[in-house]
Structure 1
Amino acid sequence: MASVNMADVKRLRELTAAGMMDCKKALEESEGDFDRAVEILRLKGAKDVGKREARTASNGLVAVKQDGESAAALLELNCETDFVAKGERFQELAAQVVEHILATRPGDVDTLLASSLDGKSVKEHLDEANAALGEKIEIRRFAVLEGGYIGAYMHKTDPQLPPAVGVLVQLDKPNADVAKDIAQHAAAMAPKYLNAEAVPADVVEKERALFEEMTRDEGKPEAAIAKIVEGRVNGWYKDFTLLQQAFVKDNKKSIAKYAEENGVEVLAFVRFKVGQA
């Protein structure tokens, strides 16, 4: 098996919350491949590894800008320390950039960086902030939702820091209370996809293969494996798709059921957490 250093072990432990020795063994077995190491930890039953692998890994903030009730932009702006994240200049830069995103609707980060803002490119604004603040400042991602009714929720994980979690929820018709409830739910429960249909086929196949391997390792009868695997895939959907998740305020109903009872349809959502994939 390949040797690993303690820095790599620490990084995997931070990503997964698994034990130190489990992380070391998984990295040795995977020959340093972090994605495979996460799968190995899941196969060996490390508690909640799949749900914890995207923990916060950097500093910064999430900023939002809304235009009435039917358009909004969300931005994740990163820095190296929370000292800079809570600074006025960094927060002003984020507000300036997210407003620019909503006004110009760039297609991707590269297009955004090249776009003109107050006579300079966005990249030049970031470079100036880098020089002034003494840290690497970068735009990690952004999103824009438009149409229907857009609700937003921003959450501070530390009252002394700017929001680290931001959610946009798009409904087919106005309902501020439902939009807020679903946005707060998404902030807490971290769904990755809207529904089962939104999950990429390669992701489903990867999970299915992993569950099949788990089931075989458990010694289940061959005739029962397909049914067990399908049940585990459906359970995965309930963990990671917004509409199938149990509503945090009433776990006897799904988000889809809650929306239906209130006469609205959830069209889309975006959730950013600083440092999270």
Structure 2
Amino acid sequence: MAAITAALIKQVREETGAGMMDVKKALTEAEGDVARAKEIIRAKGIQAAGKREGRKAQEGTIASKVVETAEGETAYAVELNSETDFVAKTPKFVEFADTVLGYAVSADAADAEALLAAPAENGTVKESVEEAAALFGEHVKVGQFAKISGEHVEVYAHKKSAEMPPSIVAMIATDAAGAAVAHEAALQISAMGAQWLTREDVPADVVESERRVATEKSLAEGKPEKIVPKIVEGRLNAFYKENVLLEQAFVKDPSKTVGKLFEEVGGKALAFARVEVGKGEAE
């Protein structure tokens, strides 16, 4: 059994928003297993009281670009973080984000680590970003990175307000036929935040966790044991409809799914990515 330390309690509180005593009880029941404790908290229906505590908000912007390739198109999206939105919205910061994006495209970087190691005007991108901190007077870093390819790639950049740079970038790769509805799908991704393209893409451990939570929740609600499996399957299907892009209800016409939207034009969605400022790993 792992020791239930103050640091462990703080970690689970930040990740769930649950109260200290609820977290401590869940960790005790889970014998210090963080993943299991989070499942227990969800199964008991303990909701976050507010925003996660103890985390510093990350500001910044996302630069994105689609380039043509021999196979079709490839899109890149790079999150550049600052400490304040005051710096994030300055023209120089936005321009620097575009410069970092240019380095990603030139190097055909596959991830953030490769981007930081890529060559810049003077040294590496990592060194260039570190030097930028002195210019802006704040900590500056490369956050999330996304890259997808297909016959066609659509990119939608969303601004939360007119004076701010893009804070959400949604990208979707499709075949040629799917390009007809790619923009609508990109808007859907931006608004609804799907995590996977198809239910087959959902990791087995995630499915098992959802099934376990749904079972425990159903039993805790006093549902007859013989009908619990059916209820669990219903709740699992609801999970897919919320988190799987092709199974989500199409925002502009909830009578059909996003998958149906592609079927109507005889097209296919191949891959997608969504980057939102401040939603990457905390420092």
Q: TM-score, normalised by structure 1?
A: 0.85
**Secondary structure at the residue paired with 2:19?**
helix
How big is the alpha-carbon RMSD for the aligned residues of Structure 1 and Structure 2?
3.0
1:151 maps onto 2:134 in alignment:
no
Shift of 1:35: 5.7
CA contact (8 A) 1:73 1:102 kept: yes
* Gap change, CA 1:264 and 1:25, over 3 Å in 2: same
Shift of 1:246: 0.2
Find the aligned partners of 2:270 and 2:229 in 1 and give their Cα distance: 32
CA contact (8 A) 1:23 1:41 kept: no
Shift of 1:200: 1.0
Greater shift after overlay, 30-39 or 63-72?
30-39
Find the aligned partners of 2:5 and 2:103 in 1 and give their Cα distance: 48
1:123-179, Cα deviation, whole Å (9 max, x unpaired) = 111011112212221112212222211111000112221111001111111555511
Find the aligned partners of 2:57 and 2:197 in 1 and give their Cα distance: 24
Structure 2 match to 1:59: 59
Shift of 1:207: 1.2
Select the residue among 137, 140, 162 that pairs with 2:140. Answer: 137
Shift of 1:205: 1.1
Amino acid at match of 1:189: M
**Secondary structure at the residue paired with 2:75?**
strand
Task: Please list, as runs of the form range in 1=range in 2, the aligned pairs for 1:6-45 lying within 5 A after superposition.
Answer: 12=14, 23-30=19-26, 38-45=38-45
Find the aligned partners of 2:245 and 2:74 in 1 and give their Cα distance: 21
Amino acid at match of 1:240: N
Shift of 1:241: 0.5
Find the aligned partners of 1:39 and 1:136 in 2 and give their Cα distance: 35
Count of aligned positions: 266
Find the aligned partners of 1:56 and 1:186 in 2 and give their Cα distance: 26
* Gap change, CA 1:193 and 1:138, over 3 Å in 2: same
**Secondary structure at the residue paired with 1:117?**
coil
Select the residue among 250, 254, 262 that pairs with 2:257. Answer: 254
Shift of 1:27: 2.8
Structure 2 match to 1:240: 243
Task: Please list, as runs of the form range in 1=range in 2, the aligned pairs for 1:1-277 lying within 5 A after superposition.
Answer: 12=14, 23-30=19-26, 38-46=38-46, 57-68=57-68, 70-173=73-176, 176-277=179-280
* Gap change, CA 1:179 and 1:64, over 3 Å in 2: same
Find the aligned partners of 2:117 and 2:274 in 1 and give their Cα distance: 25
Shift of 1:23: 2.7
Shift of 1:28: 3.2
**Secondary structure at the residue paired with 1:228?**
helix
**Secondary structure at the residue paired with 1:75?**
strand
Unmatched 5+ stretches in structure 1: none
Shift of 1:262: 1.6
Amino acid at match of 1:42: R
Shift of 1:56: 10
Unmatched 5+ stretches in structure 2: none
**Secondary structure at the residue paired with 1:25?**
helix
**Secondary structure at the residue paired with 2:222?**
coil
Find the aligned partners of 1:132 and 1:247 in 2 and give their Cα distance: 44
Q: Percent of aligned positions with the same letter in both sequences?
A: 39
Shift of 1:40: 4.3
1:3-35, Cα deviation, whole Å (9 max, x unpaired) = 979xx59x74xx66x6xxx53433332459876
**Secondary structure at the residue paired with 1:187?**
helix
Q: TM-score, normalised by structure 2?
A: 0.83
Amino acid at match of 1:87: T
Find the aligned partners of 1:195 and 1:247 in 2 and give their Cα distance: 15
CA contact (8 A) 1:59 1:275 kept: yes
